[in-house]
Amino acid sequence: MNNKINTKDNLIETAAKLFETKGYYATGLNEILAVSGSPKGSLYYHFPKGKEQLALEAIHSEGEKIKSKVQISLDRIENPVDAIVSIIEDIATIIDSDQKTKDMTISLIALETYLTSEILRNACLEIYTSLETIYAEKLIKSGMNKDNASKLGCVVSEMIEGGITYSLVKKNGYPLRLIAEQIPKLITI
């Protein structure tokens, strides 16, 4: 049984990496199998509905990693403004050095599939909504009223997502650093 779990996790992890770097439509099942080293039968055993089911699992897996990283970072620093700025600065630094988005965003798969797969669109939406909630909860804990915190949680999450995309296109973290500079002006507690 443990081997089946490892094979399934390996397929999910491989698919997530390939979807993140190449995109959903540019990644074929044969490529996922080749990179993962898994036999073809295991793919259909674990994901009988095929690529969309595998992508759904990959989105959930990556989403949990992203949410966990954000939560850990927010918990590390008491002041919510400083915590959010720190997260943005950390992402900018990663982009400066790697120019990759490992465990930072699901935007590529979200953009590729929002018109073609309601299942995948909803999975991406769920992750984005969860991130907004995580930011909002940090603001609420600092004394902000729930309505303002919810709105700002949404804005912060959207700014970070957009900043990641723009930073990748520019091949540096400067757009994210501009966002980080604006956070103290946007959020007053």
What fold, for 51-186?
A: Tetracycline Repressor; domain 2 (1.10.357)
The mean pLDDT value for 135-155 works out to: 97
Could you give the CA distance from residue 70 to residue 74 in angstroms, rounded to a whole number? 6
Q: How confident is the model at residue 5, as a pLDDT?
A: 57
pLDDT digit string, tens, across residues 3-20: 555 999 999 999 999 998
pTM: 0.91
pLDDT digit string, tens, across residues 27-39: 999 999 999 999 9
Domain ranges (residues) in the chain:
51-186
pLDDT digit string, tens, across residues 53-66: 999 999 999 999 99
pLDDT digit string, tens, across residues 77-111: 999 999 999 999 999 999 998 766 666 788 889 99
Closest residue by Cα to residue 128 from 158, 89, 149, 151:
158
Spell out the residues 6+ positions from residue 172 whose beta carbon is closer than 8 angstroms to its own. 95, 96
